[in-house]
Amino acid sequence: MAETTVAASRREILGKRVRHLRRAGQVPASIYGHRKESLALQVAVDSLAQAIKAGGSSTIIDVAVEGEARPRPALIKRIQRHPVTDVLLHVDFYQVSMTERMTADVPLVLIGEPPAVKDFQGVLVQQIDSVSIRSLPGDLPQNFEVDISSITELDQGILVGEMKLPDGVELLSDPDQLIVRVEAPRVSEEPTTVAEAEATAAEEPAAEEATEE
């Protein structure tokens, strides 16, 4: 059983009328999956927000549909928010089979402090923020921690293939792909001083006169 459960009920209101659901504190949702028919649902906004915060899109949650004997294990597949207010508008759940391996993108979380940043004023550059893996739903990690405290030199980085994966998890991303590295600080050109500009301007006429002779 998943650690997070979301209570849902079947949704009869469809189309533009779903705005009335949102006003009542409900978020329109759908659940579908491999060999599963799509089902329209509605979920309390507070319960859904807690589930998103707790697990994001890479943690199995139980969707307990009113009237069904067992909850449905699922991933949060897609979240739609209002572009201005950030209010939850719609959520898609993807129902999974706990006995079938599945693919997922798992977020990367950087931990530690790279000495190269402090010692050489390097710039930390993260190239990717997730990796693709395959595993049983029960083995799906919420995230992968990448320890960057081992980066001691400029232009040193960490590759995807250097991560340690738990048992039962297969990496699908390119192992040679760069996750993060510390680059040398960028040196900007020094601005020209007023005195230098005046000296350059004074030399220009003399150069023109020499050319005319």
Q: List pLDDT tens digits, range 40-89.
A: 999 999 999 998 888 777 889 999 999 999 999 999 999 999 999 999 99
- Overall average pLDDT of the 16-25 stretch: 89
Q: Quote the pLDDT of residue 211.
A: 43
pLDDT beyond 70 at 204: no
Q: pLDDT band for position 208 (50/70/90)?
A: very low
Domains of the chain: 4-95 (2.40.240.10), 102-183 (2.170.120.20)
101 within 8 A of 138, measured Cβ to Cβ: no
Query: What is the SS3 assignment for 15?
Result: helix
Which ranges of 15-128 would DSSP assign to H, the alpha helix?
19-23, 45-55, 115-120
Structure token pair of residue 155: 């232009």
- Specify the long-range contacts of residues 18-25, CB closer than 8 Å, at least 24 apart: 18/90, 22/87, 22/89
Q: Quote the pLDDT of residue 201.
A: 54
Model confidence, pTM: 0.76
The C-alpha atoms of residue 206 and residue 196 are separated, in whole angstroms, by 16
